[in-house]
Structure 1
C-alpha cells in the first residue's frame, strides 16, 4: 500500500515469505506505516532466530518458553517503554501465526507484561541555547540543510511529533490565515498558528530547496526517488544536528520537552502547554509540573521542624 515500503528480506526464504504475509496482514488491519515497519522488524528478528536454530521446522513446537526467552533478551537492551512496545509487537505476531494456522497454540497470551511505574521520571529537555545550536548547525547554503532546518523549526517551535512532520502536506499550510493543519494521533487534525520564523523556514524550503514534483507531502527525501520522508528521518535529522553542534545525541521528542519547559519558564500554564502539544488528556501534560521549579517552590510546605 502507499507509504509503506516492504523490507528488503528476500521473499524466496521461508522467513521472508512469512514476513511478507505478516506485512499484508498488518496493513489490512489499518496500522500506520511506521507501526507496520516496527512490528515487521521484531517479527523478522524473532522468526530468523527460530529459523537459525530449527531450520525449516522453525515454527514447530514453538512454546511459551521460547517466546518469553526472546522477550527477555530484547528487554535487556532497551528502555522500559520500548520493552512494553516489544510486548505488543510480539503478541501481534503470535496472534497472526495462530490465526493463519501456523502454530497449534494461541501463544499471544503467554507474552508477559512489562512492569513499570507511570510518571516517575522527569521530562528531559534541552536548554534554549542548545536548541538554537541545533538550528544553527544546519547548512542553509545546501538544499538538505534548508530542509533539515525547516524540519527542526517545526519540532522546536511548534512541538510537532516526528510523524506529524512527515504527514504535513502542501495544502495543510494556510498562508493567508497564518495557520497550519497538523495531522496528529488517531486521525485528529488540529489547527495551529504559524509563527513568522517557522513560516519563513518553510517558505525558503518550498521555494528554493524542494524538488519540483507532484507529491503532496511537504518534506521529501534528498535523493531520488523523491519520496516523502518517513517519520524516523526526523530523528536522523536531529541526531545529525547534535553531532554537528557537538551536543549529546538526543531524540527529536526532546525538542518537544524543551518547548514545554521553556513555555512554563516564561509563565505559561499547564493548560496552555497542553494546547500547544495537543495532549488529549491534561494528565499527560501534568508531568511538566515537575520541572516548573518556581511554582513548586511557591506551593511547597515547610518541612516540619525545619525552623528549629
Structure 2
C-alpha cells in the first residue's frame, strides 16, 4: 500500500476552486504529496484573502506579491516569494476567475523603441520569439543604451563613427560566430531605424562584414561509432531513456534542429503516410519521410508517454508536465555524451552528422539540401569538402623529380 497523504481542506474565497486545483496539479504529473503541499498553499492564500476582505476577483499579481511579503514579514520561509504563487494564479487565470496579468508598459524612450522594434521583427519580418528576444533585441539594447540620456536617444546625431566605435569595442569580446551575430543584429536595427524615419541616413553600409571562416573548415560530424555509443547510452527500460533515444534519432537521422524537435506535436506525425511535419525557421513547414527506425523509436516512447492535455510530442520528466524547449533538447545531447564517455557536443553537431552520412551513402548535395531544408545552395555546398571520393580525381599529383617513380 502507498503512503497515505493528508489532503488539507481549503476555506475562504478559494474553497470552490480547491477540488479543481487538486485535479489540475495531479494532471500535470505532480505527485500526491506535492499536490497536497500546493493545496495547503492554496488554503493559506485563501485565508489571507479572507483576512484582507478580498474576493477571488481581487487576486491580481500585486495582491499575490502582498501575500508573499506578509509571509516574509511574519518570518515564514515557505511560499514567501512572488514566484511561489505562480501555480495558483495560473490555474485561476485559466478559469477566468482572476484578472489576467497586466501588460507591462514600456517606460522611457529606449524601452518604447525596443518594444516597437520587437513588434516589427515579429510581425513584419516574421522572426520567432527566440531570435527576437534572445538575439536581436538584446543587441539593440546594448547599442542604444549608450545613447539613452536625459534628452532621449538623440538618434538624429547617430553617425557611422558611432557604429564603428561600438563594433570595435564589442566584437573583440566575442568569438567569430558571436561577432557575426552581433553585426547581423546591428544591421537589422539600423535598417529598422531608417525605415521608421528615426535616422535620415541609411547606416547599414557602415557595418563591416565579419570574415566568414565556415568555408575554411570542414563540417564536423560524429563518426558512426560515436553515434551508436550515444544511442546505446539511453536506458530504454525507462520513460526518459525512450524519450532521449527518439530525440537523438531525430537529430542524427533527419538532421532536425533542436528547436524543430521541441516543436513537434502529436498532430505532426502522419502514421499512415509515414510523414513528419517539421516546423522550421521563419514559420516554414516541411513534410519529411519518417524512417522506419525513427518511427519505431517514437512508438516505443509513446507507449510510456503519460496521458495529458499537452499536445507536444516530447514531455518533461518532472512536473509540471509540458513540452520541451530547444535548450532541453540540447541538454539531452550533452547528457548522452556524458553517459557515453564522449566529449560534449551540441545538438547541431548531429545535424552535420546526418548530412555527412547521407553524402557518404551516395546522396547528392541537392538531395541533402532538401532534407536539411536549406534555403540557399551555398549552405549545403560546404559538405562537398567532405566528399573525398568525389574530390580525389580533382587533386593534382604531387610533383616528383624526373626519373623518380
The verdict on a shared fold, with TM-score over 0.5 as the criterion, is yes
> 2:153 is matched with which residue?
59
Work out which of the residue numbers 338, 345, 368 in structure 2 matches 1:273: 368
* 2: CA distance, partners of 1:304 / 1:294: 21
> 2:130 is matched with which residue?
34
C-alpha contact 1:123 1:257 (8 A) present in aligned 2: yes
Work out which of the residue numbers 120, 123, 140 in structure 2 matches 1:43: 140
Give the number of aligned pairs: 296
Evaluate the alpha carbon distance shift between residue 301 and residue 103 of structure 1 in structure 2; reply closer, same or farther with a 3 A threshold: closer
Corresponding position: 1:22 with 2:117: yes
> 2:23 is matched with which residue?
none
> 2:221 is matched with which residue?
125
Work out which of the residue numbers 396, 401, 404 in structure 2 matches 1:301: 396
Corresponding position: 1:247 with 2:342: yes
Work out which of the residue numbers 262, 284, 305 in structure 2 matches 1:166: 262
CA RMSD of aligned residues (A): 3.5
Q: Residue deviations 1:239-289, cap 9 Å, x none?
A: 333333332232222112112222333444444434433345554333223
Evaluate the alpha carbon distance shift between residue 212 and residue 31 of structure 1 in structure 2; reply closer, same or farther with a 3 A threshold: same
Corresponding position: 1:194 with 2:290: yes
> 1:218 is matched with which residue?
313
Q: Residue deviations 1:160-219, cap 9 Å, x none?
A: 123322332322211122222223345544332222221122223333235511x44323
With CA pairs under 8 Å and 6+ residues apart, which has the higher RCO, 1 or 2? Answer: 1
Matches within 5 A, 1:178-189: 178-185=274-281, 187-189=283-285
> 1:176 is matched with which residue?
272
Q: Residue deviations 1:64-86, cap 9 Å, x none?
A: 43433332344324443443332
> Which deviates more from structure 2 when the two are superposed, residues 126-135 or residues 11-20?
11-20
C-alpha contact 1:125 1:261 (8 A) present in aligned 2: yes
Evaluate the alpha carbon distance shift between residue 116 and residue 205 of structure 1 in structure 2; reply closer, same or farther with a 3 A threshold: same
The alignment's TM-score, normalised by the length of structure 2, stands at 0.61
Evaluate the alpha carbon distance shift between residue 131 and residue 90 of structure 1 in structure 2; reply closer, same or farther with a 3 A threshold: same
Q: Which runs of 5+ in 1 are unaligned?
A: 1-8
* 2: CA distance, partners of 1:171 / 1:187: 17
C-alpha contact 1:166 1:219 (8 A) present in aligned 2: yes
> 1:3 is matched with which residue?
none
> Which deviates more from structure 2 when the two are superposed, residues 168-177 or residues 140-149?
140-149
Evaluate the alpha carbon distance shift between residue 278 and residue 19 of structure 1 in structure 2; reply closer, same or farther with a 3 A threshold: closer
Evaluate the alpha carbon distance shift between residue 68 and residue 283 of structure 1 in structure 2; reply closer, same or farther with a 3 A threshold: closer
- 3-state SS of paired residue (2:222): coil
Select the structure of larger CA radius of gyration: 2
Work out which of the residue numbers 286, 292, 295 in structure 1 matches 2:387: 292
* 2: CA distance, partners of 1:280 / 1:11: 36
Task: Report deviation, 1:95.
Answer: 4.1
The alignment's TM-score, normalised by the length of structure 1, stands at 0.77
